[in-house]
């Protein structure tokens, strides 16, 4: 079985467990046993095991070279209260307001720590996205609330609120986030489509490249662009897609990304550009938890050489 097939299978099992009631009850006993086992591991042992499991080789934490290796190193050795504040999809809003301005925030429609409050009378008559503030990937898009099975949604997010994402990846910034559900306006293009997001990878406070995922919910493709918006000949997990014209607001987005990234060694700052406006998406510190393979391996090393770690300066 190929590595891609294994990843796809793991993803399907994860979705079955996290997003369906029958999957949750069938797999929960096995998950609890697995969770008990990984909680016994030290952070260092876990990240070395996790890296080898997904990347296929052992990491040398004393001499990391590639981008994935250095991101993994950062999981262990780069931790602060600020990381927790901005990883929280609710509290980050105050940080964004202070650093670059409230006008870049996606409108917040509702927030709660009680999943039973996710019911139509508390939510607007417009399209929105429901998401967790304390993990990666826990969300639901709603375009018509009258078609939603709200008791099912409540059960799903109640389960999410009990999870601690830190233990599954050892991304420390998630460990102490107070779980919450946030509801934001759903951004759409003039054609009513979900917009591309621009993921700005910043090293030592400076933008190095932007990756754009095309047709994320279909035949997914990915392009990497440098700071001049020239296509980088690199394939990172997904094949390249059609080249996108340089966004008119690219230079402004670059400045915003670097303003937000200056406090961090590595940060991925996500933005959307919708109807002539820039919106902040999220800040991530460990893209794909440091385990997303490059199909052009030299890119992993090339980018890794550009990221300077404190003990390697």
What does the domain layout of the chain look like in residue ranges?
Answer: 105-188
pLDDT value, residue 87: 98
Averaged pLDDT score across all residues of the chain: 92
Check residue 28 and give its pLDDT.
67
Query: What's 307's DSSP letter?
Result: S
> What does the pLDDT read at residue 299?
97
For position 18, what pLDDT does the model report?
Answer: 65
Classified as helix, coil or strand, 186 is coil
Helix 3-19 vs helix 21-39: crossing angle, to nearest 10: 110
Q: How far is CA 81 from the centre of its chain?
A: 19
Ranges of residues in the chain whose predicted pLDDT is under 70: 1-11, 14, 17-19, 24-25, 28, 31, 312-313
Residue 238 contacts residue 8 (beta carbons within 8 Å)? no
pLDDT reported for residue 10: 61
């Amino acid at each position: 079985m190929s590595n891609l097939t294994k990843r796809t299978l793991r993803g399907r099992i994860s979705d079955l467990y996290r997003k369906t009631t029958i999957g949750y009850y069938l797999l929960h006993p096995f998950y609890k046993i697995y969770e008990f086992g990984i909680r016994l591991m030290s952070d260092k042992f876990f990240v070395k095991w996790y890296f080898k499991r997904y990347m296929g080789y052992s990491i040398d934490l004393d001499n990391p070279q590639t981008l994935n290796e250095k991101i993994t190193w950062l999981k262990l050795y780069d931790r602060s209260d600020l990381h927790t504040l901005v990883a929280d999809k609710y509290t980050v809003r105050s940080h964004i307001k202070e650093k670059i301005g409230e006008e870049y925030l996606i409108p917040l429609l509702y927030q709660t720590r009680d999943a039973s409050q996710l019911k139509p009378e508390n939510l607007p008559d417009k399209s929105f996205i429901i998401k967790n503030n304390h993990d990666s990937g826990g969300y639901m898009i709603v375009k018509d609330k009258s078609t939603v099975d709200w008791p099912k949604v409540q059960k799903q997010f109640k389960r999410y609120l009990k999870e601690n994402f830190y233990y599954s990846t050892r991304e420390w910034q998630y460990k102490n986030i107070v779980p919450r559900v946030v509801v934001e306006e759903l951004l759409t293009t003039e054609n009513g489509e979900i917009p591309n997001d621009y993921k700005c990878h910043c090293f030592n406070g400076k933008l190095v490249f932007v990756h754009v995922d095309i047709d994320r919910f279909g035949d997914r493709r990915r392009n990497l662009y440098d700071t001049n918006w020239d296509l980088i000949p690199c394939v990172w997990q997904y094949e390249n897609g059609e080249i996108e014209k340089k966004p008119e607001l690219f230079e402004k987005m670059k400045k915003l990304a670097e303003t937000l990234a200056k406090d961090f060694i590595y940060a991925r700052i996500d933005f959307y550009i919708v109807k002539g406006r820039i919106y902040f998406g999220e800040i991530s510190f460990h893209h794909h938890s440091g385990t997303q393979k490059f199909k052009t391996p030299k890119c992993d090393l090339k980018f890794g050489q550009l990221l300077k770690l404190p003990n390697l300066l």
